Structure 1
């Protein structure tokens, strides 16, 4: 059975929502820090850049992390876009065999979202 584009998008959103809990707070903290660092260069960044600076365990879950930030506007249409896709490049991961990976820019709303999330983690540690 062929899904309509709307049905396919809804199915993808459900799958992402179900997988998102597999991204631990530790992975999110590592990737938040990496994304802010890469965004501070002013250049577009993507999975290849993450792969160069983040531990392998976190890299395996970075796709879900990026999907959550780029899909934020699709899942919550009244919220601002957090990551903006600006292109593609071949993956440097040998297992990907040159598959294309997305390249992004972090928006102001995305920077605020990550900074707020970092502040919430800090506050949670202080309260513990």
Structure 2
């Protein structure tokens, strides 16, 4: 496995995300809160857990969102710790990663949520 420099990793992330399309801001806000909630206790979680608490429309982007947090965010927000069979019937038994929220990731998500709150207050 080749280790990418931070610049190479950022360029790769931009290419991948551009090809897949962005996660809508509302969906990102919903998933940020759900990931922070699920990951606070230090227990592993994944898209199966999100599927149980997040509206279906937002779940459609969960894979892209989770992968972005695990691979492209700096600091790394999520670490892959396992994989399970997806409970999504459309996945047809496909594997889904299981993640653990990092301490730096918890802080990153809390700050991102706080920025959204401040932006809403300023816009009001």
TM-score range, shorter chain: 0.7 to 0.9
- The alignment's TM-score, normalised by the length of structure 2, stands at 0.83
Q: Of the two structures, which has the highest relative contact order with CA contacts closer than 8 Å and spacing of 6 or more?
A: 2
- What is the CA RMSD across the aligned residues, in angstroms? 2.2
Q: 1:82 to 1:20 in 2, by over 3 A?
A: farther
Residues 1:95 and 2:96 are matched in the alignment: no
The structural deviation recorded for 1:16 is 1.9
Q: Give the Cα–Cα distance (whole angstroms) in 1 for the partners of residues 79 and 21 of structure 2.
A: 20
Which residue in the other structure is 1:83 paired with? 78
The structural deviation recorded for 1:110 is 0.6
Q: Which runs of 5+ in 1 are unaligned?
A: 74-78
User: Residue deviations 1:72-128, cap 9 Å, x none?
Assistant: 25xxxxx43210000000000111111100000000111111111101101100110
Residue aligned with 1:52, SS: helix
Q: Give the Cα–Cα distance (whole angstroms) in 2 for the partners of residues 93 and 10 of structure 1.
A: 30
Which residue in the other structure is 1:47 paired with? 47
- The alignment's TM-score, normalised by the length of structure 1, stands at 0.81
Which residue in the other structure is 1:76 paired with? none
- Cα contact 2:10–2:72 (8 A) shared by 1: no
